[in-house]
Structure 1
Amino acid sequence: LQTAHDFRFTAEEARDLIQRYLTEHPDPNNENIVGYNNKKCWPRDARMRLMKHDVNLGRAVFWDIKNRLPRSVTTIEWENAFVSVYSKDNPNLLFDMAGFECRILPKCRTTAEEITHRDGVWNLQNEVTKERTAQCFLKVDEESMSKFHNRIRQILMSSGSTTFTKIVNKWNTALIGLMTYYREAVVNTQELLDLLVKCENKIQTRIKIGLNSKMPARFPPVVFYTPKEIGGLGMLSMGHVLIPQSDLRWMQQTDAGGITHFRSGMTHDEDQLIPNLYRYIQPWEAEFIDSQRVWAEYALKRQEANAQNRRLTLEDLDDSWDRGIPRINTLFQKDRHTLAYDKGWRVRTEFKAYQVGGASRTVEVVILQRLFLFTS
């Protein structure tokens, strides 16, 4: 189970905690830096800089938290944990949460040229002043990519004598699930784009083998991507994309230069453009902004209806029916009163994985901590 915690320390508190840790675990040769976990999915200049003070503080906080937890209940392991320290030497705050790799860079630590405007970079605002205070860079984490890859492998393994339509339906379900959850983080994760191309190719190859042929002339794009109503398989595509491809040596060092080159994912000999699923999904950031507007409009319409002593009708909300988070239409569902109290359903879903199914089965739960530290 993954959990995340943040701490804020004054310089004096940080110094005191480090002192207590070093008293118990002396480090005369500065070896604490060796084996300190880092987020290698980011370029080098965006990772945590392993400065002596920050490394000692990270290890000290981990040691302090580990000692607070009762050993009979749970434990945390250094190998599976990551402690990100935000300080004068480290401008980035790194963590992963719910399948997303996040990198928060405050506005005060950037120059005007470094401010980025693209999909997969959220502008974080102060809720009161509405001032932009930081930017959050998003990627999909490695574990989530593995889950998707394993799901596609499972589809291929279990598709013995299955019909082509069923194979494509399973692919579509897996792809829609991935894209509607991660959205703009997908196009920011080069490894996932490569994986999507590979998996889409494998699904198509499985169908071709079912017909005992891989000759391209027998399988034009129209066979796979045409809707079922007019004779195709109705396959959704994320493989026909341009994948960012910078100089590999420098791309791992810095992201300051931006993306300058692309390579194509899936290609074909026909002259048709295959639509990409991402084009039809609104990014999360736009969804959040739209949601604020829609719910503010709903509040005004409801206030107006109450003043006129009437009920809101479907016509009043027609333009915002399928908008907002949660959707406006949830207010008109039969179980709307239950939904108002149904908090934390995603966390409950996570915990179900650790429920014991049988008397002989034991489940070891290891809590992986993600500790975010602030030092002044």
Structure 2
Amino acid sequence: MRKNTKKYNYTLWWAGALLCAGLTACTADTTIQEEDVVDNQTPMAFGTSLSTSESAVTRAATSLAAGFKVGTWKKFKQEGEQLVMDGYQVNYNSAATTYRWYYEGVNNQVLRYWDLSAYPYEFRAVSPYFDGATITTSGLDLNLTGHRPFKAQIYINGTYNVSNDESEPCVVAQVCRKQNGSYFEDYDEIKSTEINTDGKTNAVREVQMPFHHLITKVGFRIFIDDPQPSSPTYKVTLKSIKISVVNADNQFITASNRYTATNTQGLGSGTFAENTRATDEFTLLQHGEYTDENLREHLNRATAYDLCENYMQQIPQKDVQIRVQVEMLTYNEVNGTMVDTKNITYDRVLSLDKTSTTGDKFTWEPDTRYIYYLHIPNLIKDDIYLDTCEVLLWDEVQTSDITIEL
């Protein structure tokens, strides 16, 4: 890596470049001074990120689609705090041999160097880079006007209304590098966990940014109890299903043009604003007949039939009531002919309490998966019930050869 002939006050992190007019000294209360205390002229760089040892089997197949916008501070929340990267744009270059995540020269940004006297460092980022993202020491303000909003996904007859990318315009990251004796520890501040523990003796290693979702995703699976275990010709099929949000108060959010988060809230647990809300009942999933699916093959949670394998991305919110309407067909198949056919219908607002007539109100948190297991114990006399709702972490997302957690 070449060294600059001029000694600027370069405090670099993983993707930053601060542009001051003519690269002259900026005011000390807002940006870095002209001269930093630099011990070894090590440039700040961004690299791999992996905060857990999750098996690759659990990881999603998609990649971080773009670079990011980063704000960086040294001596964060300490006397002498200084801004190092003021909304720097960081891009990815798959052909690079050293630093694949680069910022030098982007938007006239200059290389930043580590200041060994200036820990802790704070890094806050939004991906992708866009002008409406404001990153400060007090929080985030993501104005998506002119970009694209957060959108609720619906799934009708096997087709989504919008793609995953269209539904989720951006993700966020927040990392703090602290000095602890002879160690330098990196913390994912959004998840309150230490990351990249193997490198903690190296004060100026690459900054590894775990990005996180601001939205949630929801899925539904269904299973039955076997109605006729001794009858191999008996079949149970789904003629139709509709899953909707009751939305009695017309408050269900279907799109958001703004996201704000304060330090008190946590950058990953902020507030959605400038919202579009559904009027009346809002359909999440609807499907006609599942012609080739015999529900007798789905008799417990482990084998439950997945009604939406890739989930539906939703905007986090509270007090969500879910209504399920199911039409089923039972019959015996004799020499290729259906006999003894019977149509059965169910209609229920979901609750973990089988005696409830009003249904439960669910909360959807960000960066989380919810799987609702629907159970029909007896096809003739019982109703459809919510067996359980699994609450899981979101999958891990890979970039080409840089692991970024999303």
TM-score range, shorter chain: under 0.3
Q: Which has the higher strand share?
A: 2
Q: Which has the higher helix share?
A: 1
TM-score when scaled to structure 1?
Answer: 0.27
TM-score when scaled to structure 2?
Answer: 0.26
